[in-house]
Structure 1
Amino acid sequence: MTTDITAMLWDTDPLYHAHAPELEADLASGAAETKAFRVAYLGKVASLDAAGLLEALRRYEALTELLVKPQLYAHLLFAADAGNDEHKKLSQRTAEFGNLMGRELLFFDLEIMEIPDGGFAEIVADGGLAGYRHYLESVRKFKPHTLTEREEQLLKLKNLTGAEAFTRLFDELSASFRYRMELDGEEREFTGEELLGLLHHPDATVRERAFAIFLRRHEEEGIALGAIFNTVALDHGQELELRSYRHPMEPTNLGNEIPEEVVNRLMDVSEANYGLARDYFRLKARLLGLPKLKNTDVYAPAGETDRHYTFEEARDLVLEAYGAFQPRFRDICAAFFAERRIDVLPRPGKGGGAFCMGMTPSLSPYVLLNFTGNLRDVATLAHELGHGLHFVLAQKQTMLNYHAPLPLAETASVFGEMLLTRFLLERESDPQVKIALLCAKIEDIIATTFRQNVLTRFEERMHKERKEGLLTSSRLCDLWWEENGKLYGDAVEMIEPYRWGWSYISHFIHARFYCYSYTFAELLVLSLYRKYLEDGETFIPTYVGILESGGSLSPADTVKPAGIDLADPHFWQKGYDFLAELIEELKGLVAKQ
């Protein structure tokens, strides 16, 4: 594989060549097909027999794939360079196109909801519709909260100048931020991802200064960021009222097919185990020779303190880890590099964080990284390739069943990180390296369980308080400080600029209550991984089946073959028991020093 800079950029030409007429043709064809579909089925769906409904669903799937391709392509261009005017225009144009087509197609789901219960039961009993039963039932769950077609169209139309517009503003504003900091005797410009990467720097003063500069830059835009968060929360609150939902998380829980009591239990059990995190933080302070951690020290390197990974090293380690579990997994992941479907390095204008974009059953997924070379970045590569693996395996499903339900969306990514950690631990003999690896894994579990629980509690309070009136930026800072304080307790001192830590969390803007899915997935994966350790290779077909199912089943039915019962009141505690075992394993290594 080549290692020049071109190999570090993703290649979107397999979707469309730049300025190719195919994109314009797809937009025109999508509009024409949408009109034809509406003419063919408007007012007729509820009266279709099983064969007719099957034909309509297949036609709807093909249309959905046609419509989404230009939008996904434009999003990739915008994510890679939000400062490019052409990318901005294309992203906005395809978003408006998607919104318009979506308004024209709203009737289809609405009419599925109107099929009488008796008639629906008879229709879905037909064998030809077996593959669509879960999708149809998922649509019908929202009937009590759905408005008329005209009202739904108006809400979707207003989204362009409402929540979606503020989401776009947040993305462009965040991507425009520039930061200057002195490092190693030289002052230079950093991206936000590079500054956050310095939280892994061995020098405590560098870590604190980098995070403070990052947060202060967000504070400088406090008026804009406060307005964005308030508007998104207000928009959500108004929609809750229009649709007769009882509380802010209800639409997410309904869409996730996770009962409210299960989500509450997940969060309650997480909070009951905050002491595990504080136990680890105190141990980490001893490892670093500090009387007490600051929150800028949580990800400081312990054990081996100066290891830097090239991207080629990270690639090879991750591929080996996946290959040791299942050779086919290695081949699937290797294709991302060979086909240049990964955008690697941070740069001005590029979106922050990392993501894997699942496309459609016929289009290959893409990965965006902001790789800076620390161990956490290697784990992030394993994480995002886990998503990619999930999307590829789910391509045996059709479009309406392609995307896994949100609570399972992080399953393969978190499992991939666990595979990487154990692979690295097994090949290392140096106790200092083992300590560093265990610390990194424990910190990752804390970040994807306890921290995500903190984020969810903050988001919940934000939405509830916004219902009572405008939330000042100062109040948002207070809510953030209070919820983080419940996790850190007296084990970690938060630096003052961290009051603004809420302002850069994109999940609060992009998706309501996404964050508890990380907690869900992490604890689920710890159970799956423990089962793998118990069953060995006989577990692998069960795991592959979970990933291949995509969104064709509910979360509970998807994981049932692995012997997991999400309704078990003790299920979530088992994941935290596994975390406790890892902390004890770390204590054993530390004691031998």
Structure 2
Amino acid sequence: MTPFDLPTPTHLQAAEGGAAPLDGLPEWDFSALYAGEDDPKLAKDLSWLDDETAKFKTDYEGQLGDKSATALAACVKRYENIQTVMGRIMSYAGLRYYQNTTDADRAKFMSDMQERITGQSANLVFFTLEMNRIADERFDLLLGEDQDLARYRPVLDRMRAMKPHQLSDELEAFLHDQGVVGASAWNRLFDETMAGLTFDVNGEELPLEATLNLLTDTDRQKREVATHALIAVFRENLPLFARITNTLAKEKEIEDRWRKLPTPQAGRHLANHVEPEVVEALRNAVVAAYPRLSHRYYALKAKWLGLDAMQVWDRNAPLPTAEDRIIGWDEAKDTVMDAYAGFDPRMSDLAAPFFTEGWIDAPVKPGKAPGAFAHPTVTTAHPFVMLNYLGKQRDVMTLAHELGHGVHQRLAAKQGELLSSTPLTLAETASVFGEMLTFKKLLEQTTDPAKRKALIASKVEDMINTVVRQIAFYDFECKLHDARRQGELTPDDINAIWMSVQAESLGPVFEFVDGYEVFWTYIPHFIHSPFYVYAYAFGDGLVNALYAVYEEGDADFQDKYFAMLEAGGSKHHKDLLAPFGLDASDPSFWDKGLSVIESLIDELEAMED
């Protein structure tokens, strides 16, 4: 995450809707960042950045190729310090904004900080360009001469991976400055529009998160009414969402073309430090497994619900045997913390401050961004977790998921600002592993056959949402960006692409109500982070394989696991997985992960006998 990026709501399966009587939910305490907009420390940091970025440019611009290894190491460390202060400021501004995206003062402050930081960071644009112009032979020689510089090799290698796609210094500076009125501005328009939408559900005006949550209600009529409420508002705003999508896709196509990136996905793969063929193997394995996974499971679910055909409002419906109760915050906390402690007390110790120190913002509030995320902020502070907690079982799993991110971010912080950030392909590892620990703990405690069936079914649905649904999202983006290269897409064009991947992934048991074709409009990843979504499927497959190693009884598993998380972004996925005997570049690797989901569906089918 660059210092002028906002945290993106990342958990697409966050509780989908209605308000619940949950009082006393925790909210963020920002004191680890700043005491307020008028905090003297903020003014001091901004002033320091003005001076330090100007000095950095004076000291190094046009000279990096001639510096000694020791001098280059000192330069990288100064760059890292600047990034830390910028990250602190933008984390504070962005997190406050996400608490209430409809608050004009917060939006203005965030925009002002973004413009200020973008202006200051213009002095740093040369750094990447000149580092990338150092010849490979000299680069290797320099890293061999200084241990401090060599420590930064992973992040420098990722930076230099863009070397073939680098533009002129002048163009790079222009793109940097233009960003605040380009993609960032369209992202803000999307966020503020979404946060301001309300949906008429039987005469009651609900925000997006609360309306989506009704799709998991036990009452089928409520689910249907909520679906039609969502359709009505999404349709009303369809031209705007189509304009945002068209503009961002075209902007990406222009930049990709100038950079000579071979595909729309290539930039994401480079940023993730993952080979395109690995992602393609994952995608192909999941698509080939649709009939064995989602098609088979949803046919089972239709039978349980007594339906000949499923409608879209039945996809996340609870089973008739599932408990329909509000899970209080303390119970949710205890459930997750017990699961974490059962794996290793170090894990629950790392998670504990989130609950006691104001590191979680849990309540659903007007203007608050939907979904959930864990934002690492900077390594000199601590992560912040955002939830929209409504007391559903899925919310408990979301808590387990985001706390996993938080634990990972705390462990990786010891790498320092530049090396702590984990590529997206591995960023979901600890979060999905945290969900798996919580699920296994609950399953261990559940002896009633009906409740056990409902719990396994819920886990299968979460895994399908994490793997099948995200790969369908990825295919949607691939098709959309390819089509946009041929010209402007009408709302109907985008709707048709959406429906093509939905029908393929969900299977023949589904009927699609008129209007479901506009459901692509509310997914934030398509706007904020194109092609992010395959990271969820990557993480789920990886965790399934990891968990199998854990269950086989590897005596050193916990130590290896913590070492993997502590590595942050300092190692490639091959090196991180090697101690576990795993290799994500092996095409059969993904089939192993998918077989875990398949075995759970087998268990559900066996319960029918």
TM-based fold match above 0.5: yes
Give the corresponding residue for 1:587: 605
Is 1:192 aligned to 2:197, yes or no?
no
> How far apart are residue 45 of structure 1 and its match?
1.0
Q: Comparing both chains, which one has the higher relative contact order based on Cα–Cα distances under 8 Å and sequence gaps of 6 or more?
A: 2
For 2:509 and 2:350, locate their aligned partners in 1 and report how far apart those are by CA, in whole Å: 42
- Asked if the contact 2:385/2:406 (under 8 Å) is kept, the reply is yes
> How far apart are residue 412 of structure 1 and its match?
0.5
Match of 1:107 among 115, 123, 126: 126
For 1:215 and 1:45, locate their aligned partners in 2 and report how far apart those are by CA, in whole Å: 55
Q: How does 1:9-88 map to 2 (within 5 A)?
A: 9-18=27-36, 19-88=38-107
Is 1:487 aligned to 2:486, yes or no?
no
Give the corresponding residue for 2:385: 367
Stretch deviating more after TM superposition (101-110 or 127-136): 127-136
Match of 1:278 among 295, 310, 317: 295
1:293 is paired with a residue of what secondary structure?
coil
Is 1:438 aligned to 2:456, yes or no?
yes
2:480 is paired with a residue of what secondary structure?
helix
Give the corresponding residue for 1:317: 335
Give 2:228's aligned amino acid.
A
Q: TM-score, normalised by structure 2?
A: 0.94
1:147 is paired with a residue of what secondary structure?
coil
Give 2:317's aligned amino acid.
A
* Runs of at least 5 residues in structure 1 that lack an aligned partner in the other structure: none
For 1:154 and 1:53, locate their aligned partners in 2 and report how far apart those are by CA, in whole Å: 26
For 2:510 and 2:143, locate their aligned partners in 1 and report how far apart those are by CA, in whole Å: 55
2:377 is paired with a residue of what secondary structure?
coil
For 1:83 and 1:280, locate their aligned partners in 2 and report how far apart those are by CA, in whole Å: 40
Question: Matched residues, percent identical?
Answer: 36
Give 2:566's aligned amino acid.
E
> How far apart are residue 4 of structure 1 and its match?
9.3
Give the corresponding residue for 1:301: 318
2:364 is paired with a residue of what secondary structure?
coil
Give the corresponding residue for 1:176: 196
1:565 is paired with a residue of what secondary structure?
coil
> How far apart are residue 481 of structure 1 and its match?
0.6
> How far apart are residue 6 of structure 1 and its match?
6.0
- Asked if the contact 2:25/2:329 (under 8 Å) is kept, the reply is no
- Asked if the contact 1:191/1:346 (under 8 Å) is kept, the reply is no
Give the corresponding residue for 1:121: 140
Output one character per residue of 1:393-439: Cα deviation in whole Å (capped at 9) or x when no partner.
10110111011011111111011100010000001111122112111
Is 1:549 aligned to 2:582, yes or no?
no
Output one character per residue of 1:145-165: Cα deviation in whole Å (capped at 9) or x when no partner.
001221101011222112111
Give the corresponding residue for 2:281: 265
Match of 1:138 among 158, 164, 170: 158
> How far apart are residue 195 of structure 1 and its match?
1.2
For 1:166 and 1:356, locate their aligned partners in 2 and report how far apart those are by CA, in whole Å: 23
- Asked if the contact 2:196/2:367 (under 8 Å) is kept, the reply is yes
Output one character per residue of 1:470-501: Cα deviation in whole Å (capped at 9) or x when no partner.
11111111110111111123122222221011
Output one character per residue of 1:507-542: Cα deviation in whole Å (capped at 9) or x when no partner.
001012001111111100100111110125521111
For 1:295 and 1:125, locate their aligned partners in 2 and report how far apart those are by CA, in whole Å: 58
Give the corresponding residue for 1:204: 220
2:201 is paired with a residue of what secondary structure?
strand
Give the corresponding residue for 2:578: 560
Output one character per residue of 1:232-270: Cα deviation in whole Å (capped at 9) or x when no partner.
100000001110111111111112121121111111111
For 1:414 and 1:101, locate their aligned partners in 2 and report how far apart those are by CA, in whole Å: 37
- Structure 1 stretches (4+) deviating beyond 6 angstroms? none
Output one character per residue of 1:170-214: Cα deviation in whole Å (capped at 9) or x when no partner.
0000000112212xxxx4221211111111111111112112212
For 2:190 and 2:553, locate their aligned partners in 1 and report how far apart those are by CA, in whole Å: 46
Give the corresponding residue for 2:8: none
2:205 is paired with a residue of what secondary structure?
strand
Is 1:247 aligned to 2:263, yes or no?
yes
Match of 1:387 among 405, 409, 421: 405
Give the corresponding residue for 1:402: 420
For 2:88 and 2:231, locate their aligned partners in 1 and report how far apart those are by CA, in whole Å: 36
Output one character per residue of 1:301-358: Cα deviation in whole Å (capped at 9) or x when no partner.
1122413211221111111111111111112112101001111111210000001111
Output one character per residue of 1:78-101: Cα deviation in whole Å (capped at 9) or x when no partner.
000111121011110111122222
> How far apart are residue 216 of structure 1 and its match?
2.0
- Asked if the contact 2:341/2:347 (under 8 Å) is kept, the reply is yes
Query: Are residues 311 and 537 of structure 1, via their aligned partners in 2, closer, same or farther at CA, if it must alter by over 3 Å?
Result: farther
Give the corresponding residue for 1:94: 113
Stretch deviating more after TM superposition (562-571 or 440-449): 562-571
> How far apart are residue 55 of structure 1 and its match?
0.9
Give the corresponding residue for 1:455: 473
- Asked if the contact 2:294/2:505 (under 8 Å) is kept, the reply is yes
1:102 is paired with a residue of what secondary structure?
helix
Give 1:166's aligned amino acid.
W
Output one character per residue of 1:98-126: Cα deviation in whole Å (capped at 9) or x when no partner.
22223210111111111112111111123
Stretch deviating more after TM superposition (228-237 or 430-439): 430-439
Count of aligned positions = 585
Give 1:142's aligned amino acid.
M
For 1:589 and 1:101, locate their aligned partners in 2 and report how far apart those are by CA, in whole Å: 62
- Asked if the contact 1:353/1:370 (under 8 Å) is kept, the reply is yes
- Asked if the contact 1:379/1:417 (under 8 Å) is kept, the reply is yes
Give the corresponding residue for 2:309: 292
* Runs of at least 5 residues in structure 2 that lack an aligned partner in the other structure: 1-20
Is 1:224 aligned to 2:257, yes or no?
no
Output one character per residue of 1:417-469: Cα deviation in whole Å (capped at 9) or x when no partner.
00010000001111122112111110111111111111011111111111111
For 1:366 and 1:390, locate their aligned partners in 2 and report how far apart those are by CA, in whole Å: 12
Give 1:44's aligned amino acid.
Q
2:385 is paired with a residue of what secondary structure?
strand
- Asked if the contact 2:32/2:381 (under 8 Å) is kept, the reply is no
- Asked if the contact 1:175/1:351 (under 8 Å) is kept, the reply is yes
1:367 is paired with a residue of what secondary structure?
strand
Give 2:455's aligned amino acid.
L
> How far apart are residue 168 of structure 1 and its match?
0.7
For 2:529 and 2:574, locate their aligned partners in 1 and report how far apart those are by CA, in whole Å: 22
Give the corresponding residue for 2:493: 475
For 1:35 and 1:590, locate their aligned partners in 2 and report how far apart those are by CA, in whole Å: 70
Output one character per residue of 1:349-392: Cα deviation in whole Å (capped at 9) or x when no partner.
00000011111211110011111111111100100101101100
Query: Are residues 341 and 133 of structure 1, via their aligned partners in 2, closer, same or farther at CA, if it must alter by over 3 Å?
Result: same
Give the corresponding residue for 1:515: 533
- Asked if the contact 1:393/1:547 (under 8 Å) is kept, the reply is yes
- Asked if the contact 2:294/2:507 (under 8 Å) is kept, the reply is no
- The CA RMSD over aligned residues, in Å, is 1.4
For 1:420 and 1:146, locate their aligned partners in 2 and report how far apart those are by CA, in whole Å: 44
Q: How does 1:148-163 map to 2 (within 5 A)?
A: 148-163=168-183
Stretch deviating more after TM superposition (522-531 or 47-56): 47-56
Stretch deviating more after TM superposition (404-413 or 95-104): 95-104
For 2:123 and 2:94, locate their aligned partners in 1 and report how far apart those are by CA, in whole Å: 22
- Asked if the contact 2:401/2:435 (under 8 Å) is kept, the reply is yes
For 2:148 and 2:394, locate their aligned partners in 1 and report how far apart those are by CA, in whole Å: 46
For 2:64 and 2:278, locate their aligned partners in 1 and report how far apart those are by CA, in whole Å: 35
- Asked if the contact 1:208/1:296 (under 8 Å) is kept, the reply is yes
